[in-house]
Amino acid sequence: MAQKERLNIKLLLRSLFHFLIFILCKIFKLRRPFKLLDGLTLFVIPFRYLFLCRFGEAYTVISAFTRRYYDIIEDFVQCGEEPVVVDIGAHIGTFTVRWARKLERIKGLLISVEPEPTNYALLRMNLLLNRIKNVITIPAAINSSTGEGKLYLHGLTGHSLVLQSSTFIRVRKYTLDDLMEKLGGKRAFLIKINAEGSELQILMGAHHTLKNVQGLIIAAHHRPEDPKMLSRFLKEKGFSTKCYAFKGNKLVIAYRRLAS
């Protein structure tokens, strides 16, 4: 059977499975997400995804799958063959799951990096629930140096290497250059970063990696000066930049055309 036909059958079976879940929700009038044990919620996004999160993360999941503000980068870059995308600060996988599914059809690979152990476990579960296999997961932080660091814990979503709190755990950290070398010298086409204030430090440890990157999409709402600092740094690296605001969330988009 041709590869294209197998892919079409796979997509059809996946759609039928999610359609069945959707019908069961309607029959039993399950208009809200399934509430599971141990404070977990299972979201059913009809025809597309199953997604596991903690009760307090419902808004994060809904925003990721409805607003899709990270997708704005698609207006500025064009995928080549077998592209590599890096998700730094993957959290529980909202970006990773959606973009890995996009990349499946063009044999792309996604590298998903998340240092907080509970988030990392949920990330892995969400990849399993959605039968996604084109992802390499890394339980570590990305920063300007390689070694060990303190990850300060803030609620469910705001864990940071730089924004301090009274509670922290020790985590492995890499520069992006060192991580890509560890993974066999892979070249990133697109990078998404949401690292709770560490964004500039991450870029400072990505000198070689950035040479091959076409686009970046970076969360820049952690400190007032973030958008200007990130834009200035990326322009010095040869990128054009734009800033966007989405209901309190600020993004810096960086893009360029590389010579063939």
| Per-residue pLDDT tens digits for 172-189 | 999 999 999 999 999 999
> Using CA atoms, how far apart are residues 144 and 175, in angstroms rounded to an integer?
5
Residues 6+ apart with CB under 8 A from 31: 25
The whole-number average pLDDT for the span 58-67 is 76
* Model confidence, pTM: 0.83
Where is mean pLDDT largest: 1-10, 36-45, 181-190? Answer: 181-190
Pick from 198, 249, 192: nearest CA to 215? 192
The domain segmentation of the chain, as residue ranges, is: 1-66, 69-255
Split at pLDDT 50, 70, 90, the class of 31 is: very low
> pLDDT, tens digit, for every residue of 238-256?
999 999 887 777 899 999 9
In the structure encoding, which two tokens stand for residue 6, read together? 């197998």
Split at pLDDT 50, 70, 90, the class of 2 is: low
Task: Please state the φ and ψ torsions of residue 109, each to the nearest 5 degrees.
Answer: -125, 140
If one counts every other C-beta atom within 10 angstroms of the C-beta of residue 190, the result is 24
Give the per-residue pLDDT at 28.
Answer: 47
Sign of CA dihedral 208, 211, 217, 223: positive
Least confident among 29-33, 147-151, 157-161, 228-232: 29-33
If one counts every other C-beta atom within 10 angstroms of the C-beta of residue 89, the result is 26
Residues 6+ apart with CB under 8 A from 242: 76, 252, 253
Split at pLDDT 50, 70, 90, the class of 85 is: very high
Residues 6+ apart with CB under 8 A from 251: 69, 70, 72, 217, 218, 219, 220, 243, 244, 245
Torsion of CA 14, 17, 21, 27, to 10 degrees: 140
Q: Which residue type, as a one-letter code, is found at position 137? A: T
Alpha helices in the chain (DSSP H): 3-27, 58-66, 94-104, 117-129, 176-182, 199-204, 226-236
CA distances from 52 to 136, 192, 194 (A): 19, 21, 20
Residue 176: strand, helix, or coil: helix
* CATH class of the 69-255 domain in this structure: alpha beta
Residue 40: pLDDT over 80: no
Give the per-residue pLDDT at 27.
Answer: 55
The whole-number average pLDDT for the span 74-84 is 87
Sheet harboring 34-35: ordered strands across?
A: 34-35, 40-45, 49-54
Where is mean pLDDT largest: 79-83, 104-108, 156-160, 224-228? Answer: 104-108
The whole-number average pLDDT for the span 162-174 is 80
Which own/partner pairs from 33-38 qualify as long-range (CB within 8 Å, at least 24 positions apart)? 33/58
Give the per-residue pLDDT at 95.
Answer: 93
Residue 191: pLDDT over 90: yes
- pLDDT, averaged across the chain: 83
**Percentage of the chain lying above the pLDDT 70 cut:** 77
Give the per-residue pLDDT at 50.
Answer: 83
pLDDT top residue among 126 and 5: 126
Give the per-residue pLDDT at 155.
Answer: 67
